[in-house]
Amino acid sequence: MIFSLYDSTGIQNYIFSSNKLKEIVGGSELVRKMFKEFLIGAIKNCNFKYSDDDKDNMMDVDVRIVYIGGGNAALLYKDKNIMKKVNEEFSTILLKNATSIGYVTAYCEVDIDKDDFKEKRNELLNKLEQKKNMNFRGTRLLGLPITKPSANNEYPAIDSFTEDNREIYISTETKCKRDILIDNDQFNDFNYNGEKYEFPMELDELGQSEGENYIGVVHIDGNNMGHEIDKFLSEFDDFTEGMKAMRELSSEIDRVYKLFFEDMVKNLIINIKTEKLKFLELKNNTLPIRPVIMEGDDITFICNGKLALGLAVDILKSINKKNSVKIRNYEIPISACAGVAIVKSHFPIDRAYKIAEDCCGAAKRKGKFLKAESETVGNWLDFHIVNSGMTDELDEMRAKNYNLGSLKDPSLPPLSGDNNKLPQYNLLYRPWCIMDEGKYSWGNFEKIFESFKNWPRSKLMNLRDAFLEGREEVVDFMIEVRSKKLDVCKIDDVSYESLFDVYDMTPYYDVIEAFDYYIEI
């Protein structure tokens, strides 16, 4: 028999290659259907008998679906010819219905009665990683002088639609993304307490008011899930039991992360009905949020810019409370990190997603660095607010704009055996840890935020400017405002006079930057 693993490639670039929310959602939907429908469709088109029921005897079917989820799939084929025919048909379906989506696959021969499951799985994972590293995606033919160019890329147009009395020409890729949304209700509606709510299909429908056209891109990703999955599956030597456990784990992780998102949306709806979110300008029961990716432990959504931080914190608090998932008799710890990019509505979405992804990576890096002696990373959050164009990488931009020449570099030295230091910046405390008691606790952020609510906005901006000048300017400014009965919340290890800690870092500048973009949900 043939054991085969599949993995998608270039998915983020595919989904976020357009600034049209419909096309982003369409791209996400095609990715969701990639293995769940298109791969299954390939098996059906080849007239092979398949099963996803563990009770069925493998000898009675041509293909066993081990699991599909999180942009991955594992299948067991009766022989190599069956696998080859299915892959050929699968590639053809993708080419026709989801142009530009890529995937890699690796396989090995197995004897399910004799072979060790974890050894074969590890062998396949290594093969798959090698193929991904060697994978070269050819460039599609661009338009020629005799072809009409697509409106949002350089590919030749093959169709058009009318929008605002203008004819918009689109490429094959864009047409595929738009066509998939016809009669599709995946993540379009949300029902709560008997009321039906709708997720928007346009970036301008996220409840922004005139002059406040910021949107948020939030990317949430589980920590160490690969390690936890390997540890869990290493308990299974028997091939059949290993496949069952693999399916159960994939299904449970997908289920609980979708529940985290659903609970967050319910909390959002409750808050929409209060005065707290009265600034939102929503049509009927349209929600100020649009889910984009919901696969396994990966959640990505776009929302009103003022809600992004609060919604990300809400999900991370739910994950922290849940803390683990139980499969059979095993408790598997779960935690996640979030990256938030807050940008203007017409900022390139692919760039906004990259910033959110980089922020998530920075959060993971800090969590792993500070929790080096513990396997638990914790739930960390990082964010970046873009007020103008941004051309540098996140770390480069922060080193240039958030460090002060008069203060020392607060980066932490590498741990033993590691050459990589942890980048830190004078004017940033972020990433912050949700529900932690340490210096980077989100609780400290919230305490400072509450203390700033009593400040006139002009004074808050003056404090921001003082931070940009240096420590002495902050000391002088705080003497002045304290004489006028304005003060800040005291944070442990931070000087009451200068508002900097012993590492020459301040938590207060973070809060000033995010002051207009944080609402607790």
User: Rounded to a whole number, what is the distance in angstroms from the first to the last CA of the chain?
Assistant: 51
Q: Is residue 286 part of a domain?
A: yes
User: Is omega for the bond preceding 431 within 30 degrees of 0, making it cis?
Assistant: yes
pTM for this prediction: 0.92
Q: Is residue 469 part of a domain?
A: yes
Are both 204 and 218 inside the same structural domain? Answer: yes
Are both 444 and 500 inside the same structural domain? Answer: yes
Q: Give me the sign of the Cα torsion angle 31, 32, 33, 38.
A: positive
Single residue among 357, 388, 419 that ends a domain in this structure:
388
| d(C-alpha 114, C-alpha 109), whole Å | 12
| φ/ψ of residue 95, rounded to 5 | -60, -40
Are both 121 and 196 inside the same structural domain? Answer: no
What's the Cα-to-Cα distance from 303 to each of 145, 212, 312, rounded to whole Å? 39, 13, 11
Q: Looking at the 3D structure of the chain, how many domains does it have?
A: 3
User: What is the DSSP track for 8-71?
Assistant: EESHHHHHTS-S-HHHHHHHHHHHHHIIIIIIHHHHHHTT--EE--TTS-GGG-SEEEEEEETT
Asked if residues 108 and 122 have their Cβ atoms less than 8 Å apart, the reply is no
Single residue among 117, 134, 151 that ends a domain in this structure:
134
What's the Cα-to-Cα distance from 122 to each of 47, 116, 125, 216, 465, rounded to whole Å? 31, 10, 5, 38, 54
DSSP one-letter code for 205: G
Are both 309 and 245 inside the same structural domain? Answer: yes
Are both 377 and 494 inside the same structural domain? Answer: no
Are both 408 and 483 inside the same structural domain? Answer: yes
Are both 383 and 278 inside the same structural domain? Answer: yes
Are both 396 and 496 inside the same structural domain? Answer: yes
pLDDT score recorded for residue 206:
95
Give the CATH number for residue 114. 3.30.70.270
Are both 329 and 430 inside the same structural domain? Answer: no
Q: Which helix (H) or strand (E) holds 263?
A: helix 239-272
Q: Is residue 276 part of a domain?
A: yes
| d(C-alpha 369, C-alpha 419), whole Å | 12
Q: Is residue 125 part of a domain?
A: yes
Q: Is residue 180 part of a domain?
A: no
Single residue among 100, 134, 168 that ends a domain in this structure:
134
Q: Which amino acid is at 129?
A: E
Q: Is residue 175 part of a domain?
A: no
Q: Is residue 458 part of a domain?
A: yes
- Among 328, 333, 331, 122, residue whose Cα is nearest residue 237: 122
Question: What domain range is 195 assigned to?
Answer: 189-388
For every one of its 521 residues, what pLDDT tens digit does the chain have, with 9 covering 90 and above? 999 999 998 888 889 988 899 999 999 999 999 999 999 999 999 999 998 877 667 778 999 999 898 788 999 999 999 999 999 999 999 999 988 888 999 999 999 888 888 888 889 989 998 888 876 655 566 666 667 767 676 677 777 777 777 888 778 888 888 888 876 666 677 888 889 999 999 999 999 887 778 999 999 999 988 888 888 888 888 888 888 898 899 899 999 999 999 999 999 999 999 989 999 999 889 999 999 999 989 999 999 999 999 999 999 999 999 989 998 888 999 999 999 999 998 899 999 999 999 999 999 999 988 876 566 789 999 999 998 776 788 999 999 999 999 999 999 887 665 667 899 999 999 999 998 778 899 999 999 999 999 999 999 999 999 999 999 999 999 999 999 999 999 999 999 999 999 999 999 999 999 999 999 99
Q: Is residue 165 part of a domain?
A: no
Are both 232 and 259 inside the same structural domain? Answer: yes
Are both 247 and 368 inside the same structural domain? Answer: yes
Are both 267 and 374 inside the same structural domain? Answer: yes
